Structure 1
Amino acid sequence: MTYRLSFPGDVFDTYKQLPDDARRDMAVCLVDAQQNPLAASEPYGEDDGIIRTVARGHTTAVVLIGEPTRTITVLAIAYAGA
């Protein structure tokens, strides 16, 4: 089952300001995570299965996996410019 993707407004603003290639990388890893977020992500600190990271290229996002609501919420985005 596919998870719904959720962006708080300020985080979506960060996403929109990424360079085109970084925005594409972020979109790809978030879409990939929608099918199986645990398999497509890595633990963020201690592995609680809830707060995870996804990364591709020079972009990383911290996500919150809401199992009961089947939602992935993007909490923060980081870009290590090239």
Structure 2
Amino acid sequence: MTYRLKLDPSLHAAYKNLSDTARRDLAVCLLDALADPLAHSVPYGVDDGIFRTIASGRTTGVILIGADTITLVQLNTLD
């Protein structure tokens, strides 16, 4: 199953302002998570299978896994 991505407009604006490298790193994480979110993420705090962390390079994000959607709820970068 492939999940659909949901992204709040404010997080999309933050994404657009990232460096090219950070945008690429986050995009790769999100694309991988859309195919298999549990395999391409780690627990965010307690492993509830819903809130998960994705990371690559100097970019991290927190995703919320729904029935058929993944929502990016937090974005962090060291750039």
If the length of structure 1 is used for normalisation, what is the TM-score?
0.94
Segments of structure 1 that go 5 or more residues without pairing to the other structure are: none
Structure 2 Cα separation of the partners of residues 18 and 42 of structure 1:
23
How much identity, in percent, do the aligned residues show? 54
Count matched residues.
Answer: 79
Cα deviation for residue 44 of structure 1 reads 0.3
Cα deviation for residue 4 of structure 1 reads 0.3
**Matched residue SS, 1:77:** strand
1:78 to 71, 76, 79: 76
Partner of 1:29: 29
Structure 1 Cα separation of the partners of residues 63 and 29 of structure 2:
11
Partner of 1:58: 58
Cα deviation for residue 59 of structure 1 reads 0.2
Cα deviation for residue 30 of structure 1 reads 0.3
Q: For residues 25-53 of structure 1, what are the alpha-carbon distances to aligned partners after superposition, in whole Å with 9 as ceiling and x for unaligned?
A: 00001001111101100000000000001
